Amino acid sequence: MITLFFIFIVLFIILLVAKKQNSSNQQAIKAIGTLQMIMVAGMIISIIAASVSQIGAGYIGVPVLFGNVQDNILRSGLNIINPLVEVEKLDTKIQAYTMSGVKDEGAVKGDDAIVVLSSDGLSMKLDVTVWFKLSENEAPNLLRNIGIDYVEKIVRPATRTALRDVSVGFTATEMYSTKREDFISQISKNLEKSFEGKGILMEKILLRNIELPGKVREAIDEKISAEQRAQQMVYVLQKEKQEAERKQVEAKGIAEAQKIISNTINPQYLQWKYIEALKDLMNSKNNTIVITPYDQKLTPLLNLNPKSQQ
């Protein structure tokens, strides 16, 4: 807008010169006067427009006056500014930078996977995504010292360097499985140090894929499977041991219960229970005849003397 303002000034000056040269022509003077009024209105509108800057959500504005970066920051919304400054808008949302061996998946087209060397001398390809964002308070320093191409200058080289530096401290098996989280954590710490003081905040690093040589990968998979089978066997043995202990406790309880029952039951008790059962059978509506076994000990009431019947 400020450029448009200067264009209106130049046109206004040209019209003044033309007005002097055509001072005898009233019709030309009238037309030039109308154009001058239009130029003045244009200058006013351009000044007002240049004095207002709109910053979108998730962005901040950094004023630049004649190439000199200002320390103040413009937040989201409408901001009143010096009409002579230019506003550089920076994205403060979380950004993702991907380096991948899959075509058209990363920021760089083609195979952009990072080749690293493990402590046991194996070469591996890593697919990585870095989450980061800009620090609002340090945005003026970032623009002043690094510029808007901070991804190519800082994020990309720092990430690739951190991956290569950390990988030499881990074996292929550790990076692939056993210490994968430790590997990622160490990379994050290295990146935080690299970004420190540069206006870039480390959010998270995603280790998306590790490509190992075929034979090494098969050996690692077999080792992991063997460890899982060993852990499963330990679980099975523990379960069987617990089941054996449960059966011992159950058998002991049954034996104690039988011992108590055998000590409390006597012939008189059995005789009484037998009589009670006969009574229930004889009084039942579903039975018309009750045949009982002959036992002098259990059925004394039914053991009648034949002589007494005569």
Phi, psi (rounded to 5 degrees) for 68: -100, 115
CA distance 159 to 145: 20
Q: At what angle do helices 26-50 and 2-21 cross, to 10 degrees?
A: 170
pLDDT at residue 305, rounded to an integer: 43
- The one-letter code for the residue type at 122 is L
Phi-psi region of 24 (alpha: psi -120 to 50; beta: other; left: phi over 0): alpha
CA distance 167 to 186: 9
pLDDT at residue 184, rounded to an integer: 93
Condensed to tens digits (0 to 9), the pLDDT of residues 256-309 reads: 877 777 777 667 666 777 777 777 766 766 655 555 554 555 555 444 444 444
Phi, psi (rounded to 5 degrees) for 80: -85, 125
List the structure tokens of 240: 């069987």
More confident residue, 213 or 151: 151
Which class for 246: exposed (0-12), middle (13-18), buried (19 or more C-beta within 10 A)? exposed
Condensed to tens digits (0 to 9), the pLDDT of residues 28-69 reads: 777 777 777 887 777 777 777 777 888 889 999 999 988 899
pLDDT at residue 290, rounded to an integer: 53
Asked whether residue 78 carries a pLDDT value surpassing 80, the answer given is yes
pLDDT at residue 193, rounded to an integer: 93
Condensed to tens digits (0 to 9), the pLDDT of residues 92-105 reads: 999 999 998 887 78
Name residues whose C-beta falls within 8 Å of residue 211's C-beta, 6 or more positions apart in sequence: 101, 113, 124, 125, 126, 127
pLDDT at residue 256, rounded to an integer: 80
CB 117 within 8 A of CB 169: no
- How does DSSP classify residue 113? P
CB 234 within 8 A of CB 200: no
pLDDT at residue 309, rounded to an integer: 40
CA distance 111 to 115: 11
Condensed to tens digits (0 to 9), the pLDDT of residues 181-212 reads: 999 999 999 999 999 999 999 999 999 888 87
Asked whether residue 2 carries a pLDDT value surpassing 60, the answer given is no
Three-class secondary structure of residue 21 per DSSP: helix
Condensed to tens digits (0 to 9), the pLDDT of residues 265-278 reads: 667 666 777 777 77
CB 88 within 8 A of CB 141: no
Any idea which residue has 């590790």 for tokens? 210
Q: What is the residue-averaged pLDDT of the chain?
A: 80
Asked whether residue 160 carries a pLDDT value surpassing 60, the answer given is yes
Name residues whose C-beta falls within 8 Å of residue 131's C-beta, 6 or more positions apart in sequence: 94, 95, 96, 203, 204, 205, 206
Average pLDDT over residues 237-251: 85
- The one-letter code for the residue type at 188 is S
